[in-house]
Amino acid sequence: MIQQTQYTPTPSKYNFPQTLQDTALPTRFIELSLRSIKNIANQDATLLYQPYETITENAEPAEEITPIFQGQTKLKLNTIPLKPSLMETPITAVDVSSIRIGETTTGILLAIRAAIVWKNQRHHGYRYLRIGPFPFHITEENKAEIYQLFRQYSLDTLTPNTTSTPNLLHMQTRITTLLERWLQMNIATHSQNSLILWDGSLTAGTSDSPTHIIAQLLETARNRFNTVLAFSKITRLRLSGHRLTDLIQKGKPPCLLEMDGYPVAPTNTIHFLGNIYVAKLTHGNCSFRLDIDRKLPREQAVEAIQRLIANDQVSESYPETLRLAHIYSTFTANEVIAIQRLLAQTHHLKTITRPNIRRLLFGPFGKGPEGG
């Protein structure tokens, strides 16, 4: 008999994401999480095989879809100098992380957590809300249910259920992205005159980022006078073989590097819903790909980034709000152990390490994922 874990939603002390807690998703999340875990205990052997390596997903696609700039003129790059705009603007960032806790005989066990960080002048500092972690046991039997719930909330019920459930191995990435979309939608809906920072790009057209959904998300944000700024930590953007993030090094920060040309995806299904810039907001070695909603006038886009550098702390060209969101969502090794302990305590799940096949076969030459 498995005891249902008692939980109490945390009372909100801070005004902004209260709306997030009012929604049904956290409750459904907990229920789904518990139900999925419960099915482990129903199995004969309650063993959890610990992975050799920790697979962490950060809701950002591992493979960046690199655009080709049509009509691009060689060496025609436009550097836009930026001046901090002192207009008071709230900034909100969201990030979601997931981690593979282990494998059972029937599926995978992962944990997911989201962090929202916001800053406005009223608070004289940063505020955060951490949601989770929620462990999920995903099997071939329940993956459709879990995926559909995530899709239902994240992509809103407007989307008909036509997409097939992904492979078990891809579930982690998919549900991480879906949760992030749901939070992004909530933030876009409930904030006003704000800057909303995303981790990643405004590329749409994948199964968990359908074009119309991302477009709708951006539209919702626009309608409430919000601006979505998406920062990609890693980019492969190149011009005549040169990395664009290297070319901007010559520019005097804070500045943006604007591409001359129209970004086109390698496949028809992929769409770039943002104008792509390279941002160098402070002195230092770093610069980032920055996508800003294409439907915003250029001046408004530039003004948004000028408000960002005035209202947020920026270090190594990266906004502090987004950095904190990443830090607060990321799992530590200890948290993985803590989740394993929770499952052991509540569901008598015993964690063991699978024999390392590489080691068994090749001895010291078996340099597997865990290194040598």
Q: Which residues are near other proteins by CB under 8 A?
A: 5, 7-10, 12-14, 21, 26, 30, 33-34, 117, 123-135, 324, 327-328, 330, 332-339, 341-342, 345
Beta strands per DSSP E along 155-287: 195-199, 203-204, 227-232, 238-239, 242-243, 255-259, 262-264, 271-272, 274-280
| Closer of 28 and 295 to other proteins (Cβ) | 28
Pairing assessment for the beta strands 255-259 and 125-139 based on DSSP bridges: unpaired
- In the chain, the largest separation of any two C-alpha atoms, in whole Å, equals 69
Q: By C-beta, is 165 or 346 nearer to other proteins?
A: 346
The rounded Cα 157 to chain-centroid distance in angstroms is 21
User: Least distance in Å: CB of 328 to other proteins?
Assistant: 7
CA 274, 278, 283, 285 dihedral sign is: positive
Task: For the CB of residue 243, give the shortest distance to other proteins in the complex, in Å.
Answer: 30
Question: Helix (H, G, I), strand (E, B), or coil: what is residue 68?
Answer: strand
- Which of 10, 353 has the CB closer to other proteins? 10
Measured from the CB of residue 128, what is the shortest distance to other proteins in angstroms? 3
Residues 208, 341: Cα–Cα separation, whole Å: 32
Q: Which is nearer to other proteins, 93 or 292 (CB)?
A: 93
Q: For other proteins, which is the closer residue by CB, 20 or 196?
A: 20
Residue 215 or residue 342: which is nearer to other proteins going by CB?
A: 342
Per the DSSP assignment, residues forming a β-bridge with 211 are: none
Q: Show the CA angle centred on residue 221, arms to residues 215 and 227, nearest 5°.
A: 105
Closer by beta carbon to other proteins, 7 or else 262: 7
Nearest one of 194, 186, 219, 147 to 22, comparing CA atoms: 186
DSSP per position, 90-148:
-EEEEEEEEEEEEE-SSEEEEEEEEEEEEEEGGGTEEEEEEEEEEEEEEETTTHHHHHH
In sequence order, what are the beta bridge partners of 70? 262
* Minimum gap (Å) between residue 334 Cβ and other proteins: 4
Instruction: Check: CB of residue 100 under 8 Å from CB of residue 50.
Output: no
In the complex, the smallest distance separating the C-beta of residue 242 from other proteins, rounded to whole angstroms, is 35
Closest approach of other proteins to the CB of residue 125, in Å = 4
CA–CA distance, 367 with 372 (Å, rounded to integer):
5
Shortest Å, Cβ 136 to other proteins? 11
Name the residue nearer to other proteins (CB basis): 88 or 140: 88
Q: Dihedral of CA 159/21/111/291: which sign?
A: positive
Least Cβ distance, residue 6 to other proteins (angstroms):
9
CB nearer to other proteins: pick between 1 and 333:
333
DSSP-based three-state secondary structure for 208:
coil
Residues β-bridged to residue 368:
371
Shortest distance, CB of residue 168 to other proteins, whole angstroms?
A: 23
Report whether 204 contacts 214 (CB < 8 A).
yes
Of the pair 23, 148, the CB lying nearest other proteins is at 23
CB of 23 to other proteins, least distance (A): 12
